[in-house]
Structure 1
């Protein structure tokens, strides 16, 4: 009985990883921090060449 229960747990863990890993990658891709994109900060002080 212990072997069959262990086998079921192994199958459940494998299925969990097969479902959890792609979902985690998709979530990380959607919630990517803006530092990874080449986007300047929203506030930039105006550069005045008259100085």
Structure 2
């Protein structure tokens, strides 16, 4: 009998990504998200500026 955790990555890929990526690259991912939002707002501002 195999433990249930051996198929955790297959049954729940979101949790697996969270444990692998979030712990290691948490600050880089947050920085990229904030940077993307700022660039998006800057692009909208430039587009809407008369």
Q: Give the TM-score, by structure 1 length.
A: 0.43
Query: Higher relative contact order by CA 8 Å / sep ≥ 6: 1 or 2?
Result: 2
Which has the larger helix fraction?
2
